[in-house]
Amino acid sequence: MSIDTLTIPTQCVTESRITQLDYNNIEFGKIFSDHMLVADYKEGQWQTPQILPYGNMSLSPATSALHYGQAIFEGMKAYRDAEGDILLFRPLDNFRRLNISAERMCMPAVSEDIFMQGLEQLLRLDAAWVPPTAGCALYIRPFMFATDDFIGVRPSSNYRFTIFSCPVGAYYGQPLRVAIESQYVRSAEGGAGFAKAAGNYGAALLPARKMQEKGYHQLIWTDAREHKYIEESGTMNVMFVIDGKLITPQVSTTILAGITRESVLQLARDMGYGVEERQVSVDELMEAHKAGKLQEAFGTGTAATIAQIATIHYQGTDYDLPAIEGRKISNGIAVALDQIKTGQAPDQHGWVYRISL
């Protein structure tokens, strides 16, 4: 199927649910827009996708994704510009990363036509769900899962790829208290930590809950071998400003290659800041804090955007960081990134995919 010829059969809702949406009070991930894209993979190829009213799916209890975790996802956002057009932020990067995850999880690649045309047609149909409100966006969730009804352990022969969306506000409503994890492990070298695989998130829930019970919003993962080096935080990559330089762990097989992460690093370079992608040890952070050189810490992610970290906990001690208002680098980049995403600043890196209505 070529990008010019793919036409997606569409079944529209009889009545939109958009009246249920209060644009000024949007909670993350609770209300879903009217339609979803569904494409099935059978007999070695993707079948013609369909756009359907958002709704439940009927699954066999033996659906293999539910047992063995062949399930991957992406997260991306759409914004509305001053003319009312829809601006998608780096959707092709999400498409590429989905297929990197698919390869690691032994799943078929989704075609660019299905992903991009499906996305565009879905967004045209649900355009009214892209919030015009500052600080809000339409969060888009492409995902794929194995659909064989078979409980032997083997790669499934059948898959479903779906895209649905939900209007969202902030993922984290306040500056974060995070704790450095030195017992549990998210990912080891050679594992699937770089993939956006559902199981990576499921396995993180218990350690995260234990930290939450101690009063922290999220944890910061450390390496599996020594618990010595910083990896990423719950739903985000993590960055630090030490002595004026922006420093973040380099991506590896254990760390998700965040699209927001990469955008933030690019903007920091554009603004002339020193940027280092390298191992960051917990000791380095502690020493920088002691010397008064740990100036900023924050997470980056599609859902989280730029989430400021107020406090880092390590081995029984809370280390409070400088006031958020004074964080020149992360606050400056957050504003610049938001302006690009919403069409208020020139898109010098070709990150924005415009859907003119």
User: How far is the C-alpha of 176 from the C-alpha of 173, rounded, in Å?
Assistant: 9
In whole angstroms, give the CA distance from residue 102 to residue 187.
Answer: 17
Q: Which of 49, 52, 70, 75 binds ligand COI (CB under 6 A)?
A: 75
Q: Kindly tell me which of 33 and 295 has the beta carbon lying closer to ligand COI.
A: 33
The only residue of 303, 329, 334, 340 in contact with ligand COI, by rule CB under 6 A: 303
Q: Identify the residue among 301, 327, 330, 351 touching ligand COI (CB under 6 A).
A: 301
Nearest-5° Cα angle at 79, 324 to 349: 80
Cα three-residue angle 350-105-91, rounded to 5 degrees = 15
Nearer to ligand COI, 304 or 336 (CB): 304
Residue 94 in the binding site for ligand COI (CB under 6 A)? no
Does 193 bind ligand COI (CB under 6 A)? Our answer is: no
Binding of ligand COI at residue 235 (CB under 6 A)?
yes
CA dihedral sign, ordered 175, 223, 67, 119: positive
Q: Which is nearer to ligand COI, 165 or 295 (CB)?
A: 165
- Closest CB to ligand COI among residues 258, 284: 258
**What's the min distance (Å) between Cβ of 292 and ligand COI?**
32
Whichever of 75 and 108 has its CB closer to ligand COI, that residue is 75
Under rule CB under 6 A, residue 99 binds ligand COI = no
From 61-69, 110-118, 245-253, 295-303, give the range in contact with ligand COI by CB under 6 A. 295-303
List for the chain the helix, strand, coil content (%; round to 5). 25, 30, 45
Measured from the CB of residue 159, what is the shortest distance to ligand COI in angstroms?
20
For residue 29, give every residue at least 6 positions away whose Cβ sits within 8 Å of its Cβ, in sequence order, or none: 139, 166, 168
- Annotate 11-42 with b (16+ C-beta within 10 A) or e (fewer): eebeebeeeebeeeebebeebbbbbbbbbbbe
# residues near ligand COI by CB under 6 A: 7
Ramachandran assignment for 161, one of left (phi > 0), alpha (psi -120 to 50 degrees), beta (any other): beta
In whole angstroms, the minimum distance from the beta carbon of 258 to ligand COI comes to 8
Distance, CA of 122 to chain centre: 19
Min CB(226)–ligand COI separation in Å: 26
- Name the token pair of 38: 């569904």
| Interface positions with ligand COI (CB under 6 A) | 75, 201, 235, 301-304
